[in-house]
Amino acid sequence: MENPAKEIIKDKELARQEAREKKIKAKQLEKQALRIHQELENYQKKHKKEKKQAPSDAFISLQHINKIYDNHVQAVYDFSLDVKQHEFIVLVGPSGCGKSTTLRMIAGLEDITSGDLYIDGAYANDLKPKDRGIAMVFQSYALYPHMTVAGNLSFSLRIRKFPTLKVDKEGKPVLEINQKLIKTVKKQLSDLMEYADFIKGEGKQEEIKKVAADIEETEAKIAYLEKTPVEVYENKHMPKEEIRSRVMQAAKILQIEEYLDRKPKALSGGQCQRVALGRAIVRNAKVFLMDEPLSNLDAKLRVAMRAEIIKLHNSLGATTVYVTHDQTEAMTMATRIVVMNKGFVQQIGTPIEIYYHPSNIFVATFIGSPAMNLYDVSYGKGKIDFADNFSLNLPKEASKAVDDFYKDALKKAQEELTETDKTFFERTNYLELISKFEKQLAEEKDLLKKKKTEADLAKAKEELKFCEEVNASRQELLANIEAYKKIGAKKAIPLIFGIRPEDIFLASSNKDDKDASKGFKITVSVAELLGREYFIHSDFQGKDLISKINSKQLIAAGDKLELSFDLAHLHLFDPISKKTIY
């Protein structure tokens, strides 16, 4: 037995070493986060000088949007989305995935670190929230408690001034030289000329020609505005009659006319939500932004309000961006869904596309209720084998998809690592420093200097090691590459088999279905009756299997059933990258 005193010293030394490594890793991580933050800010500073051109087929366009906070924590990564007019877009994902931050950037409540935002053809990055033509509905309703419903509905109209055509005594438009517009266009010209000077040093001839043409066009626009009188708009408060008319119209649409004289404390949750929606309606906004507006309501009221919001969206011809963590809301309300996780867009598509063709395991399990059943299987010679001597023959298309996926999976991962390393500047700097020290060590004759260089080399190698270890995406790629190499050496390929509860049937009900798998017996552990169907819980391959079974017959815990899978709707995933194979 070792000396207890030595054990204590050894433990203390180990603790010191762990604390030191933790400190170095934290420093390396902060260094990389700071560099990425600075790079994006510098890119945006240069990029903003370019002439902005909104996409012609998008009402709202988010192009390569990134959001990094002052503490260098990145909340949104390279978010790109074009929203057509009258679309109902739902951003869905778990808490902390970046969906609300994205919505707040559209609203102008959060600054965009890098990327371009266009709303109705206008570059909106620098527009104030009140100038974006948006109306926002918050999760907490944000009603003024001291005002009546009518007061809450009319408040934004009463305090704001709106562009109004300037007319003379006869009601004819007044024509003047628009100095304000000239000033704005001159600022655009100044930015373009500054950008032109910058790119001259980079030798980008095509870009230089394009910017020169933009400068010429902008100068011509200024010359035209300086000598041509145009219609002038001045900011004025909205007439009281117009405000009253809009409030009454919104109240009628939302069926809250009888509550106009009440204050929020005298309203139910659903009524408060209607008032919050009414404040958006009265503004005749181009865009509705809704941040989890139904999360404070009970289940029954949420269903009713979902339908009300969809009807409202359709009747107003609005363009809506809606945030929720509830996948049922996303599936029932959206024209298109944007699924997010950890700041990254996982998939964009219609509800049908997202449901039937999820891009990865996260999307497959997040969308659908109950969630998709997943099982580890091995694939070989056109069939998959489960753990307990149960196997299924795959459709030919599925087998081909698996073979095609793994044919170049390793190559793709290696190419991705090469691209990652090209922009991993901290690693490049350490490699150059190590090369320099190794060269000095080979040439150095002085023993003291040699010893110092050896210490410097050891320190650089240690810092390189920690620098690489804290880069999560690179570490994941390295792990994937090693895993794909092992697959190449094996005959059987590990896969993840997925099947939705609604794609599992009683074997007796689909005997003649060519897509039905062979039957397998289960014992019911829990039978949840939900009207016309049961959610059946049972043990299958050592895991809980959930199936949706029609309630034509009574089913209870302990019953024996024979089930089969609908192989036309099976899903296969790569356990390494978590991507969908089939």
Tell me the residue type at 2: E
Rg (CA), the chain: 31
**CB-based contacts of 229-232 (< 8 A; 24+ apart in sequence):** 229/175, 229/176, 229/177, 230/175, 230/176, 230/177, 230/178, 230/181, 231/165, 231/166, 231/173, 231/174, 231/175, 232/165, 232/166, 232/173, 232/174, 232/175, 232/176, 232/178
Contact, 155 vs 144, CB < 8 A? yes
Q: Which two tokens stand for residue 17?
A: 């070493």
pLDDT at 364: 94
Q: Alpha-carbon distance 249 to 278, whole Å? A: 9
Q: Which two tokens stand for residue 357?
A: 């063709």
**What are phi and psi for residue 237, nearest 5 degrees?**
-70, 150
DSSP 569: G
The crossing angle, in degrees rounded to 10, of helices 299-316 and 240-254 is: 130
pLDDT per residue rounded down to tens, the chain (582 residues): 567 777 777 777 788 888 888 888 888 888 888 989 988 988 888 888 777 888 888 999 999 999 999 999 999 999 999 999 999 999 999 988 999 999 999 999 999 999 999 998 889 998 888 888 888 888 777 888 888 989 888 888 888 877 788 888 887 888 888 888 888 888 888 888 877 777 776 666 777 888 888 888 888 888 888 888 888 787 788 888 888 888 888 888 888 888 898 888 888 887 888 888 888 888 888 899 999 888 877 788 888 888 888 988 888 888 999 999 988 899 999 999 999 999 999 999 999 999 999 999 999 999 988 899 999 999 988 888 888 888 888 888 888 898 889 888 899 999 999 999 888 888 888 888 888 888 888 887 788 888 888 888 888 888 888 888 889 889 999 999 988 888 866 678 899 999 999 998 888 776 667 778 888 888 888 888 888 888 989 999 888 999 998 877 888 888 888 888 888 899 999 999 999 999
Fold match between 60-161+245-353 and 374-399+492-573? no
Q: Alpha-carbon distance 107 to 129, whole Å? A: 6
Check if CATH label 3.40.640.10 holds for domain 374-399+492-573.
Answer: no
Q: Which two tokens stand for residue 525?
A: 């552990």
Contact, 280 vs 136, CB < 8 A? yes
Spatial neighbors of 502 by CB under 8 A, at least 6 apart, are 548
Partners of 116 in the beta sheet?
63
pLDDT at 49: 77
pLDDT at 1: 52
Pick the CATH number of 60-161+245-353 from 3.40.50.300, 3.40.50.720, 3.30.70.120, 1.10.510.10: 3.40.50.300
Bridge pairing between strands 88-92 and 319-324: parallel
Q: In angstroms, what CA-CA distances link 7 with 2, 10, 15, 21, 484?
A: 7, 5, 12, 21, 42
pLDDT at 488: 66
CA angle at 73 for the pair 72 and 78, rounded to the nearest 5°: 100
Report the side by side order of strands in the sheet with 88-92: 134-137, 287-291, 319-324, 88-92, 336-341, 344-349
**What are phi and psi for residue 341, nearest 5 degrees?**
-155, 130
Contact, 427 vs 417, CB < 8 A? no
pLDDT at 74: 92
pLDDT at 374: 94
Q: Alpha-carbon distance 209 to 216, whole Å? A: 11
How many CB atoms are closer than 10 A to CB 559?
14
**What are phi and psi for residue 278, nearest 5 degrees?**
-60, -35
How many CB atoms are closer than 10 A to CB 205?
9
Domain regions of the chain by residue span:
60-161+245-353, 175-236, 374-399+492-573, 407-489
The phi-psi region of residue 115 (left if phi > 0; otherwise alpha if psi is between -120 and 50; otherwise beta) is left
